[in-house]
Every structure is written in structure tokens, then in C-alpha cells.
Amino acid sequence: MTRKKSTVYLDERADLRLEAEARRRGVSKAELMRIFLDEGLLRSGEREPLPPLPKFSSGRAMTVEEMDEAIYQSMKRRAEKR
């Protein structure tokens, strides 16, 4: 995965706390910021409601293959939203 450069301005206190935590964990400040950003984005995504799974009321009985495909497509859409 390629990385893009980004600039973040921190106040002195936040920078000192970030530096201390990075030293404690044995990683760079940049790596620690990536970790925190990834964790924050994951948490924010958990708050978004996921679309419901498909309902099977087409007026006719679905085959097992059709049901499998409908479930697969729904799960694929849900995963793309995360």
C-alpha cells in the first residue's frame, strides 16, 4: 500500500504526550499517529448503521444458489461500507 504525506499541526502538550507514548511503545511518532488514526476510523465506522440483510419474498421460492448469491452480495455491500 502506498503512503501519502500529510501535515498535522499539534499543540506542544499533545506533541509531548505523543512523543512519550511513542517512546513507551517503541515506535515512531508517525507510526503511532497512523495507529491512532486507524483505530479512530474503525470506531467511527462501527457507529454507522449497516443495511439490513435481504428479505426473501420474491413471490416464488428461491433456489439455494439464489439465496447464497443474495446473501453474498449483501455481505459484500456491508463490508465495502466499513
Rounded to whole angstroms, the Cα distance separating 9 from 71 reads 45
On whether both 22 and 43 belong to a single domain, the answer is yes
On whether both 10 and 44 belong to a single domain, the answer is yes
On whether both 26 and 14 belong to a single domain, the answer is yes
Least confident range from 2-6, 10-14, 19-23: namely: 2-6
Range of the domain at 6: 1-48
- Closest by alpha carbon to 13, among 21, 23, 5? 21
* pTM exceeding 0.75: no
On whether both 66 and 40 belong to a single domain, the answer is no
On whether both 19 and 41 belong to a single domain, the answer is yes
Domains contained in the chain, number: 2
On whether both 16 and 42 belong to a single domain, the answer is yes
Phi, psi of 32 (to 5 degrees): -65, -40
On whether both 21 and 40 belong to a single domain, the answer is yes
Mean pLDDT of 9-29: 93
